[in-house]
Amino acid sequence: MKGKIGVVGLVVAIVVLSVTVAILATKLSETERELGSTVTKLNNTKNLLDITTEKVEKLEKLDAVNQKNHKYIEQMVKGLNEFFVAGKNEGYGDAYRDLASSSYDIYLFSLGETYANTAATYYSYASQHYRDAKAFFKQAEQYSTSNNTQELAQLFVNLSEINAQIKEEDHEVYEYFASACHYYDSDNYRAGGNEIEKMNEHIEKRDKLVSEENDLWSSIDALLEEF
């Protein structure tokens, strides 16, 4: 009897073990599926993070470009403001130049000297403001984000330099003109004539620079049509 119970017990144990193994196998399969699903989710999450990171990097790059564009515009505006101030001083210089010339024509040499000196002073101011404008345009060039914006800044750098040189020549012209008027007012026509000759040398230099200035304006106009 004990032997039969032992065999039955063994059979029951084997059945229980088989069922247990089957249950464990089922749970293991389910766990593997869940694990596979989790791995898929993790991979999807990683891909999403990669995409997000890429987008963040693109936004950061775009933000950097926008910041450079802002600084570029800021420096260009400052440069153009100095250009405007230079132009105002140039205009004052031109007004006193005309007064000096008119005074000279009617032999009011003392008055012509005064006006010519004033014109020379304003031309000197204009030259300095063109130099200041050039400095701002050079800064703008460093913040350019395209070939066109870089070229535009460079053209204004060159234009500012040429205008500064032109006004330096105008300053010299009317310094010599004032000196000539001074000598003429003292009846020293030979010395006055020598000053006029020196004045004419600077007029020739200025005229050559004006030709270069006109070429630069043409280049700027052509470039602006491409924007």
The pLDDT score that the predictor gives to residue 110 is 96
Closest CA to 212 of 169, 150, 172: 169
For residues 98 and 119, give the distance between their C-alpha atoms in angstroms, rounded to a whole number. 9
The pLDDT score that the predictor gives to residue 57 is 58
- Domain extent listing, the chain: 71-224
Per DSSP, helices labelled H in the chain are 2-105, 109-142, 147-185, 189-224
Intervals of the chain under pLDDT 70: 1-65
Q: What angle do CA 184, 186, 191 make, to 5 degrees?
A: 55
For residues 117 and 63, give the distance between their C-alpha atoms in angstroms, rounded to a whole number. 52
**pTM confidence score:** 0.73
The pLDDT score that the predictor gives to residue 116 is 98
The pLDDT score that the predictor gives to residue 223 is 87
Q: What angle do CA 112, 114, 120 make, to 5 degrees?
A: 100
Q: How do residues 93-119 score in pLDDT, each as one tens digit? A: 999 999 999 999 999 999 999 999 999
Q: Distance from CA of residue 21 to its chain's centroid? A: 76
CB within 8 Å of 96: residues ≥ 6 apart: 115, 116, 118, 119, 122
Assigned CATH for 71-224: 1.20.58
The pLDDT score that the predictor gives to residue 41 is 57
- What does the block give as tokens for 109? 């040499």
DSSP state of 97: H
Report the phi/psi class of residue 146: left, alpha or beta, with left for phi > 0 and alpha for psi in -120 to 50. Answer: beta
DSSP per residue over 110-138, as a string?
HHHHHHHHHHHHHHHHHHHHHHHHHHHHH
The pLDDT score that the predictor gives to residue 67 is 84
Q: Let me know: does 142 contact 79? Beta carbons within 8 Å.
A: no
